[in-house]
Structure 1
Amino acid sequence: MDDLKFWIPLLCALGLGLSIFLLAHAIGRAIDAVPNEDRSYRDAPPRFFLLIWWPLRWLAYYLGPVLPLNLRQRVLVKLRLAGLDYALAPEQFIAGQLLGAAGAAGLAVWLIGNLHLPLGPWPLLAGACAYLMPGIWLRDRILLRRRDTLKTLPFMLDIITLCVEAGLNLSGALAQAVAKGPAGPLRDEFSRVLRDVRAGRPRLDALRTLGDRMNEPAISNFVAALIQAERMGMNLGPILRAQSEQRRNERFARAEKLAMEAPVKLLFPLIAFIFPCTFVVLGFPIAMKFIHMGL
């Protein structure tokens, strides 16, 4: 009986140690199986994804083959509109969402445990919020890029027009626009066009890819005009000047529209917050005077 009391804990400890060793060995082999990613031609990932890059890359490697094709396509379209398709793959973005959700849920469990409170639904809520945050950030980035693109497009077209009329070809004009233009998504996209051209891609294909990648009517019209002018051998100067003038008129029309929408958008905060405070400030002395008169 004494021998059993000695051998049973020993065997249990050996079994637990062997299980931990096998699990660590399996995890190590799974990590070693992930190939190194060549990022010499890719952009740097965003800061949040860079902080968790190593576990994200390992999870994305095993997550990629099981993702549905339609989900990959939807995420890829959003990444392309956000200018991140050279920085993140769809499976890497989804892996970042999953890792963020797991980290937020674990942090919620740790905080609630330290506070000696019942768990309840808070870890699930924290995980769900962390899972949705990258998608919200991606949507805001797409809207910000679209706004910045439409804002800087007329100025960039002016630079390209001046360079073309001064005797440069289209590639040289784009290079000058990238060098002298304001920083923003449009300059990055023109730089990407030049990078594709230097890599051996035909210029018309690089421009057509620019229109498909940005999915913006103003950029699509600009690209279509350039392609048509290149094919027909037309002078680019008048076409670019007309495009610049049209984009400037559209920007002015958008500004007028936003200015006309401002009073309508101000109605709710005016009625819900400003008017009640005004009535309180004006009515409080009158109410206090009536109270004192009544007393």
Structure 2
Amino acid sequence: MDALKSWIPLLCALGLGLSIFLLAHGLGRAIAAVPSEDRSYRDVPPRFFRLLWWPIRWLAFYLGPLLPLRLRQRVLVKLRLAGLDYALAPEQFIAGQWLAASLAGGLVFWMLDTLQRPLGPWPLLAAGLAYLMPGIWLRDRILLRRRETLKTLPFMLDIITLCVEAGLNLSGALTQAVAKGPAGPLRDEFSRVLRDVRAGRPRLDALRTLSDRMNEPAISNFVAAMIQAERMGMNLGPILRAQSEQRRNERFARAEKLAMEAPVKMLFPLIAFIFPCTFVVLGFPIAMKFIHMGL
């Protein structure tokens, strides 16, 4: 019996070592099964995804077949509107959400356990917030791209108009707009149009893809006008100038609308924060006089 008891720690150590070896071997085989990704034709992922790119890619490889088709399409549309469809696949974005939730939940769990505090719902709450953060960031990026696109569109159309009136074709005008125009999402999108044309896609198809990718009425009107002019053999100069003037008038109307909305938006901060402070500053001396008179 004593001899058997002396062998128990050794057997436990062997079993633990074998379990660790099998786990490491299975994990290594799972990692080795993930194929390498050719990113020579793809854009650079955002910063958070670059920091955790290897675990995100591995998780996306096994998570992708489990995702519903409708979810993948919905995420792909958002990535396209954000200009990230050449940088991230839908399963990679969702894998980033799950990985962020796991890291945040594990970090909060470790901190509370180290400080010997009750866990409560805080790890789950941190994991939920971390899961939602990439979606919020993606929505803000879409809105920012829309604002910058509408802001720079009239100037880019002016450059294209001047180049067309100087004798260049539409592709040459787009090249000059990309080279001389302000940096922003619109210049990146025009650059993608030129890249598609150089890859062999017809110019009209590349413009339609631009319209579908951005899903913006101003861009859709511009693309529709260009396609109609190309088909009918019309002069592009007057059409582009009319498009530029219309986009500039729309930008001025949006600025007027925002200026008229500013007093309404400032009403709540005035009532909730500024007016009470003003009343306190004005009423404090009067209240102190009444207190001294009562004393």
Structures share fold, TM-score greater than 0.5 = yes
CA distance in 2, matches of 1:33, 1:111: 34
Task: Report matched runs for 1:176-195 at 5 Å.
Answer: 176-195=176-195
Taking the TM superposition and a 5 Å limit, the aligned residue runs for 1:34-113 are 34-113=34-113
CA distance in 2, matches of 1:231, 1:2: 96
Partners in 1 of 2:100 and 2:243 — Cα distance?
A: 44
CA distances 1:66-121 after superposition (whole Å, capped 9, x unpaired):
10000000000000000000000000000000000000001101111121110000
Find the counterpart in structure 1 of residue 22 from structure 2: 22
Question: Does residue 226 of structure 2 align to residue 229 of structure 1?
Answer: no
SS in 2 for 1:112: helix
1:140 aligns to what?
140
In structure 2, distance between residues paired with 1:200 and 1:30: 38
Task: Name the counterpart of 2:154.
Answer: 154
Structure 2 residue aligned with 1:174: 174
CA shift, 1:7, in A, is 1.8
Other structure's SS at 1:34 match: coil
Compute the TM-score of the two structures, normalised by the length of structure 1.
Answer: 0.99
Give, in whole Å, the separation in 2 of the partners of 1:121 and 1:263. 41
Distance 2:231 2:36 in 1: 43
Q: Which residue of 2 aligns with 1:261?
A: 261
> 2:291 matched to which residue of 1?
291
Output the CA distance in 2 between the equivalents of 1:7 and 1:207. Answer: 76
In the aligned structure 2, how far is the partner of 1:291 from the partner of 1:63?
71
Residues of 2 paired with 1:197 and 1:128: CA distance? 43
Residue 8 (structure 1) shift: 2.0
Q: Which runs of 4+ in 1 moved over 2 A?
A: none
Amino acid at match of 1:264: V
- Listed one character per residue, the Cα deviations across residues 169-192 of structure 1 (whole Å, up to 9, x for unaligned) are 100000000000000000000000
Structure 1 stretches lacking a partner, 5+ long: none
| Aligned counterparts of 2:8 and 2:276: Cα–Cα separation in 1 | 75
The aligned residue for residue 279 of structure 1 is 279
| Paired residue secondary structure (2:63) | helix
Are 1:11 and 2:11 matched, yes or no? yes
Distance 1:211 1:198 in 2: 18
| Cα separation, 2, equivalents of 1:171 and 1:7 | 80
Percent identity of equivalent pairs: 88
Counterpart residue identity of residue 240, structure 1: L
Partner SS state of residue 200, structure 2:
coil
In structure 2, give the amino acid aligned to 1:256.
Answer: E
- Aligned-partner residue type, residue 232 of structure 2: M
Once residues 140 and 126 of structure 2 are traced to their aligned partners in structure 1, the CA distance between those partners, rounded to angstroms, is: 21
| Distance in 2 separating the partners of 1:23 and 1:86 | 35
Q: What is the alpha-carbon distance in structure 2 between the residues aligned to residue 118 and residue 293 of structure 1?
A: 54
Unaligned residue ranges in structure 2 (runs of 5+): none
Counterpart of 1:15, as a letter, is: G
Report the alpha carbon displacement of residue 10 of structure 1 after superposing the two structures with TM: 1.5
Distance 1:147 1:39 in 2: 29
Alignment correspondent of 1:204: 204
CA displacement at 1:294 relative to structure 2: 1.7
Distance 2:78 2:187 in 1: 19
Amino acid at match of 1:66: L
Aligned counterparts of 2:23 and 2:291: Cα–Cα separation in 1: 78
Partners in 2 of 1:235 and 1:43 — Cα distance?
35
> How far apart are the structure 2 equivalents of 1:29 and 1:176?
50
Letter in 2 for 1:112: L
| Pairwise CA distance, 1:27 | 0.5
In 2, Cα distance between equivalents of 1:141 and 1:243: 26
The AA in structure 2 aligned to 1:211 is: S
Instruction: Give the aligned CA root-mean-square deviation in angstroms.
Output: 0.6
Q: TM-score scaled by structure 2?
A: 0.99
